[in-house]
Structure 1
Amino acid sequence: MSGRPAGEHKVISVPEGLDGERVDVALARLTGLSRSRASELVADGHVLLDGHRPAKSERVLFGAVLEATIPAPPVVEVVPIPVDALSIVHEDDDIVVVDKPVGVAAHPGVGWTGPTVLGALAARGYRISTSGAPERQGIVHRLDVGTSGLMAVAKSEHAYTVLKQAFRDRVVDKTYHSLVQGHPDPHTGTIDAPIARHPKHDFKFTVRADGRASVTHYATLEAHRYASLLTIKLETGRTHQIRVHMAAIKHPCVGDPLYGADPTLAARVGLERQWLHALGLGFDHPRTGERVDFASTYPADLQAALDTVRDLD
């Protein structure tokens, strides 16, 4: 794989609501970049304020012109790495549905050198759709590295196009189970709160008014002394959506310190990652139009943690 995608150049007029803000803060708010990434761009000379290179602490004024050249991330190759624990739930000429274990990313990314779903499939000789960015070919939706469960990957170009649109149209059924701290009140509910990148932390997201629309439905299956087991359905598929939304209502996923979970409880139940599993996946088959539904069971670490929580009652 050769070459790099071109960088992005943005020219933005500072709105009245950002008058007096620091350059890095204004850039982050206007572009959706994290605060730290915006600061790096300013420090590296990739940002102009009314034609000059500002310090990141310089203040912007209403009507000023911000110019930012955002270098493209490096192209990351798919390296075939066997993942014995990754199981094939279904395969045909158009799709392959896998049960992804914890510790495996959906696709390669900058800074990630571990195993991926695409690398595991390549190691087994699967040919995947060439649609999508080079390092994400065939990927129509993703799971976090620390989340296990069902993922569909497109093998044909037709399947990629149809499934990507199905996810955009919110007609794919995605069911998760999560063990969260405490007891959500009400026991059944909907969290409708926009999600955006965290302004100060890379790789973290937060509920923010200017974020993307995000809707999560949950219902309590089991209530225990320290935690509750929930079934969760997503209307949207934002990065870290369940983790962010559960943290926002003060019931983070057990074992998820990034979003405020108690590490003491995680240690007590033997968890080294968030208790979150993609249990069900259903959609209309991209070729036949027939409904297909897939199911997964809890992996050993999540089952053991749930058993311990039940025993603590």
Structure 2
Amino acid sequence: MEKQEHIIDEEQVNERIDKVLSSLNNEWSRTQVQSWIKEGNVLVNGKKIKTNYKSNLHDKIEISIPDPEELDVVPEEMALDIYYEDKDVIVVNKPKGMVVHPAPGHLTGTLVNGLMAHCKDLSGINGVLRPGIVHRIDKDTSGLLMVAKNDYAHEHLVNQLVEKTVTRKYRAVVHGNIQHDYGTINAPIARDPKERQSMTVIDNGKHAVTHFQVLERFPDFTFVECQLETGRTHQIRVHMKYIGYPLAGDPKYGPRKTIDFGGQVLHAGVLGFVHPRSGEYLEFEAPLPQDFVELLDKLRNNR
């Protein structure tokens, strides 16, 4: 375990201790520093403190930096569809059917298993089973994900999600014929009290906003683009069901009689964010997967 010391100077007086420490080293994220404080690895004048401690002049800060935790994830060689990579960020196009990170019942074959074989340097903020994962998409949703290779990049990307500045556009096919060309769904989402494995629109849920645009209409279905303003679990699936147009193929939120697609017809096609180190805005677009294209062709031919 590495140890470092720091003395508070006049410019740092009355600042929160987690903010002071994260400013000392741009590789130390504020989230990481807060976890060190909670674990008792940060002492002020020889005493443990809380994350909201305000510094005083000449405070002596002792920081014990834990050794990197060995990730309990088995690296697996797999063909990853990587759209962008540098020392901070990877953008990968996840295929339908792949789970993002290990969990009970899915300890291997996940995107994280493949990433661990591809590169050893992923951020540790989300723990040993979700290294580098800033945001997720469902197993049966295809498309683009940004992955952080260090904690500095992870915190920057998470902050952009919180501030709603990340561009996330999805393509979907929904049941029914939406008559208006554009719409915004502003409805709070939380876990369904009657069905704990599902999410639902509920008054005391978390703020959730989805914008949609109609791209093409068919007799019984509509091809839409949805843009996330927030990123709640199953947000697009729950919101489109809420307004009466559930996703085609969706076994959880769709009707009993739906398209046999092996899951919801949903693709995360556009992802844009500000690079955490360069400050440059980057945007990527992944084309629709082949089965999605074939479904659209079938719907067009049946008109």
Q: Could you say whether these structures have the same fold, taking a TM-score greater than 0.5 normalized by the shorter chain as the test?
A: yes
**Other-structure match for 1:28:** none
**Other-structure match for 1:133:** 127
Question: Are 2:253 and 1:259 equivalent residues in the alignment?
Answer: yes
Residues 128 and 155 in structure 1, CA contact (< 8 A), matched pair in contact too:
yes
Task: Choose which of 161, 165, 177 in structure 2 pairs with 1:183.
Answer: 177
- What is the rounded CA distance, in whole Å, between the counterparts of 1:276 and 1:77 in structure 2? 31
Task: Choose which of 73, 77, 82 in structure 2 pairs with 1:78.
Answer: 73
- Give me the TM-score of the superposition, normalised by structure 1: 0.71
What is the identity, as a one-letter code, of the residue corresponding to 1:131?
I
- What is the rounded CA distance, in whole Å, between the counterparts of 1:102 and 1:82 in structure 2? 18
What is the identity, as a one-letter code, of the residue corresponding to 2:268?
A
Larger radius of gyration: 2
**Other-structure match for 1:306:** 296
Q: Pairwise CA RMSD of aligned residues?
A: 1.5
Stretches of 4+ aligned residues off by more than 3 angstroms = none
What is the identity, as a one-letter code, of the residue corresponding to 1:232?
C
Question: Are 2:87 and 1:97 equivalent residues in the alignment?
Answer: no
Q: Secondary structure at the match of 2:236?
A: helix
Residues 74 and 108 in structure 2, CA contact (< 8 A), matched pair in contact too:
no
Residues 254 and 262 in structure 1, CA contact (< 8 A), matched pair in contact too:
no
- What is the rounded CA distance, in whole Å, between the counterparts of 1:77 and 1:298 in structure 2? 34
* Long gaps (5+) in structure 2: 1-70
Mapping of residues 1-313 of structure 1, within 5 Å:
77-84=72-79, 86-263=80-257, 265-267=258-260, 271-313=261-303
Distance 1:199 1:83, change over 3 A: farther
What is the identity, as a one-letter code, of the residue corresponding to 1:310?
R
What is the identity, as a one-letter code, of the residue corresponding to 1:239?
T
Residues 265 and 292 in structure 2, CA contact (< 8 A), matched pair in contact too:
yes
Percent identity (aligned): 41
- What is the rounded CA distance, in whole Å, between the counterparts of 1:83 and 1:146 in structure 2? 18
How far the C-alpha of 1:125 sits from its partner, in A, is 3.5
Aligned length: 233
What is the identity, as a one-letter code, of the residue corresponding to 2:78?
V
Residues 77 and 108 in structure 1, CA contact (< 8 A), matched pair in contact too:
no
Residues 91 and 145 in structure 2, CA contact (< 8 A), matched pair in contact too:
yes
- Give me the TM-score of the superposition, normalised by structure 2: 0.74
- What is the rounded CA distance, in whole Å, between the counterparts of 1:202 and 1:285 in structure 2? 36
What is the identity, as a one-letter code, of the residue corresponding to 2:75?
P
Residues 105 and 114 in structure 1, CA contact (< 8 A), matched pair in contact too:
no
